[in-house]
Amino acid sequence: MLGVLVRRGAEFAADEDAVQDALLEALRVWPADPPRDPQGWLVTVAWHRFLDATRADTARRRREDRVHETPAPGPVSAADDTLQLYFLCAHPSLTPSSAVALTLRAVGGLTTRQIAAAYLVPEATMAQRISRAKRTVSGVRLDRPGDVATVLRVLYLVFNEGYSGDVDLAAEAIRLTRQLAAAIDHPEVAGLLALILLHHARRAGRTAADGSLVPLAEQDRGRWDTGMIAEGVAVLQRALARDRLGEFQAQAAIAALHADAPSTEETDWVQIVEWYDELVRLTGSPVVRLNRAVAVGEADGPRAGLAALTALDDTLPRYTAAAAYLHERDGAPRTAARLYAEAARKATDLAERDYLTRQAARLNSR
Amino acid sequence: MAKYLLLKHYRGAPASVNDTPMEQWTPEEISAHMQYMNDFAARLEKTGEFVGSQALSPEGTFVRYDGEGRPPVTDGPFAETKDLIAGWMVIDVDDYQRALELAGELSAAPGAGGKPIHEWLELRPFMGECPTITE
């Protein structure tokens, strides 16, 4: 078992301590809940302890480096125990926020302080959240297969949290998803990896120097990371070839069509609408229907987009913003300005509110 | 997770159901009220939903720029109509329903006669700062 840890780069002395801790833990837990794979269990727990003991300075430094260099491509060695840990951290008995916190701590190896900083809460609060999550899953057997969809949802949540403080959660999510994709052969895992690579590749273009939001049509496509786009597309194509479509693959396909286009006008909107139809079929999500309406507006003109909108619930998030955009394209700037202002009041995101306010102001000052 | 601000008003909110000024409560009732709020905060710390809280002095001042070279204008001690915040608590919860549930619970703090105050609390969501991926 020490060998397993040493191969993962642990120092021998620290290993011994970690193994001791794991054995103590086994004595405590096994009588009531014996694992099917005792060695895998021990390696997982010992690795966990080792991370606890050594993550402080070296781990932080490595992570800070990763923030600057984008995540390195290439496979990560597969390990069954890591996989078990994934499923444990995304266990359905945890709330999404607990699952995210536990995943970052146990699989990602972030310190409690770093996770707290990323979520802008006190360290004591995050420590409680994590220890509650640990208690919740403490009775769960590590060898029970979990639900891949839940693991993927947790990783996508981590990705969408963005970054603050010294941890880049998007980069962390990419690293973890790569690790998962190396450990498990599943087209939706590849679909998620492709999706977040394609999103991440466009990250530099999504915000201006002052932090304000740049919409897709105005983004400087020269700032997109073409290497990462190529990797995302390749991962997606391999997944699609398996012919087991899922929502992450469909979303990645849409992201790939955006990333492939030299400009908004030259985007293959017809194909994007077709992928949205697939997504509607797979998820039935009203948010997907809303995005589809916007894509229809690009493919068949703003009137068609507005017609698709009227079938939807107008209390959906971003419904008003979408309506404003389509009305402007339809040559109704006054209606659009009023709707942009209304959408700005409803926005729950600072960058988005400022963007919508500017849109209203631009039309009002013409 | 979403952060919410719970605002407790001295003035400016609709009257509580059990609306007796604190100075007319018994000392035991005041202690019970304080204990309830401390217990509430301590429990939120344990659930990992606590971000921070502070009580504020009732003495506040409005301040305004009054032009080049002049000292700022202040509103003096005439605060009869002004909205006054007694204190705030920030929570970080899974969703709006949970925020409502907690605000309702805080509003049930005991007052005069040991009965819940049914105080109106203001619940305000924080603006998020991470743009969601939607393109």
| CATH code: domain of residue B94 | 3.30.70.1060
Pick from A140-144, B54-58, B130-134: least confident: B130-134
Q: Tell whether B132 is covered by a domain.
A: no
Q: What is the ipTM of this complex?
A: 0.78
pLDDT of res. B120: 95
What's the rounded Cα separation, in Å, for the pair A341 and A331?
17
**CA-based end-to-end distance of chain A:** 71
Q: Tell whether B13 is covered by a domain.
A: yes
Residues in chain A within 8 Å Cβ distance of B135? 202, 216, 255, 258
Please count the CA atoms within 13 angstroms of the CA of B78 that sit on its side-chain side. 3
Q: Reduced to 3 states, what is the DSSP secondary structure of residue A225?
A: coil
User: CB-based burial of residue A316 (10 Å sphere; 0-12 exposed, 13-18 middle, 19+ buried)?
Assistant: middle
Distance (Å) of CA B110 to CA A95, B29, B37, B104, B117: 31, 7, 9, 13, 6
Q: Could you tell me the sign of the dihedral formed by the alpha carbons of A199, A354, B1, A52, in that order?
A: positive
Q: Tell whether B133 is covered by a domain.
A: no
Q: Are strands B84-93 and A167-168 parallel, antiparallel or unpaired?
A: unpaired
Q: Is the pTM of this model over 0.95?
A: no
Average pLDDT over residues A107-134: 92
Confidence of residue B135 (pLDDT cuts 50, 70, 90): very low
Higher pLDDT: A234 or B71? It is: A234
What's the rounded Cα separation, in Å, for the pair A278 and A4?
43
Adjacent-strand bridge partners of B88: B7, B54
Q: Quote the distance between the C-alpha of residue B37 and its chain's center.
A: 11
Main-chain phi, psi angles of A145, to 5 degrees: -65, 135
What's the rounded Cα separation, in Å, for the pair A156 and A200?
12
CB contact under 8 A, B127 and A160: no
Residues in chain B within 8 Å Cβ distance of A257? none
Closest CA to A125 of B125, B53, B46: B46
Enclosing domain of residue B23:
2-64+73-125
Average pLDDT over residues A165-174: 85
- Total structural domains within chain B: 1
Q: Tell whether B100 is covered by a domain.
A: yes
pLDDT of res. A334: 97
Confidence of residue A2 (pLDDT cuts 50, 70, 90): very low
Contacts of A294 (CB under 8 A, 6+ apart): A305, A322, A325, A326
Residues in chain A within 8 Å Cβ distance of B134? 291, 318
Distance (Å) of CA A184 to CA A82, A83, A140, A206: 10, 8, 21, 31
Please check the confidence at residue A168 and state whether its pLDDT lies above 50. Answer: yes
Indicate the residue of B51, B131, B135 with minimum beta-carbon distance to A352.
B131
Higher pLDDT: B114 or B1? It is: B114
Tens of pLDDT, residues A23-72: 556 655 665 666 666 666 666 666 666 555 545 545 555 655 554 544 44
Q: What share of chain A has pLDDT > 90, as a percent?
A: 57
Q: What angle do CA B72, B73, B77 make, to 5 degrees?
A: 130
Residues in chain A within 8 Å Cβ distance of B51? 120-122, 125
Residue A98 touches chain B, beta carbons under 8 Å: yes
Q: Tell whether B84 is covered by a domain.
A: yes
Establish, for the pair of chains A and B, how many residue pairs have beta carbons separated by less than 8 Å. 72
DSSP-derived letter for residue A26 is H
CB contact under 8 A, B48 and A98: yes
Tens of pLDDT, residues B16-52: 999 998 889 999 999 999 999 999 999 999 999 999 9
Residue B15 touches chain A, beta carbons under 8 Å: no
CA distance A99 to chain B (A): 11
Q: Reduced to 3 states, what is the DSSP secondary structure of residue A38?
A: helix
Average pLDDT over residues A296-315: 96
Of all residues in chain B, the one with the smallest CA distance to A200 is B133
- Structure tokens, A28: 């405590």
pLDDT of res. A147: 79
Under CATH, what is the fold of the domain A81-167? Arc Repressor Mutant, subunit A (1.10.10)
Q: Quote the distance between the C-alpha of residue A270 and its chain's center.
A: 27
CA distance B88 to chain A (A): 16
Higher pLDDT: B12 or A162? It is: B12
**Domain range list for chain A:** 1-72, 81-167, 185-266, 268-366
Residue B95 touches chain A, beta carbons under 8 Å: no
Q: Tell whether B135 is covered by a domain.
A: no
Q: Tell whether B134 is covered by a domain.
A: no
Q: Which CATH architecture has domain A268-366?
A: Alpha Horseshoe (1.25)
pLDDT of res. A13: 43
Contacts of A4 (CB under 8 A, 6+ apart): A43, A47
Amino acid (one-letter) located at B122: E
Higher pLDDT: A158 or B133? It is: A158
Pick from A85-89, A176-180, A243-247: least confident: A85-89
User: CB-based burial of residue A312 (10 Å sphere; 0-12 exposed, 13-18 middle, 19+ buried)?
Assistant: middle
CB contact under 8 A, B48 and A96: no
What's the rounded Cα separation, in Å, for the pair A206 and A218?
9
Residues in chain A within 8 Å Cβ distance of B47? 128-129, 132
Tens of pLDDT, residues A315-337: 998 999 999 999 999 999 999 99
CB contact under 8 A, B133 and A199: yes
CB contact under 8 A, B135 and A353: no
Main-chain phi, psi angles of A324, to 5 degrees: -60, -45
Q: Tell whether B94 is covered by a domain.
A: yes
CB contact under 8 A, A349 and B132: yes
For the stretch A305-308, contacts whose Cβ atoms lie closer than 8 Å and that sit 24 or more positions apart, written own/partner, are: A305/A329, A306/A330
Please check the confidence at residue A213 and state whether its pLDDT lies above 80. Answer: yes
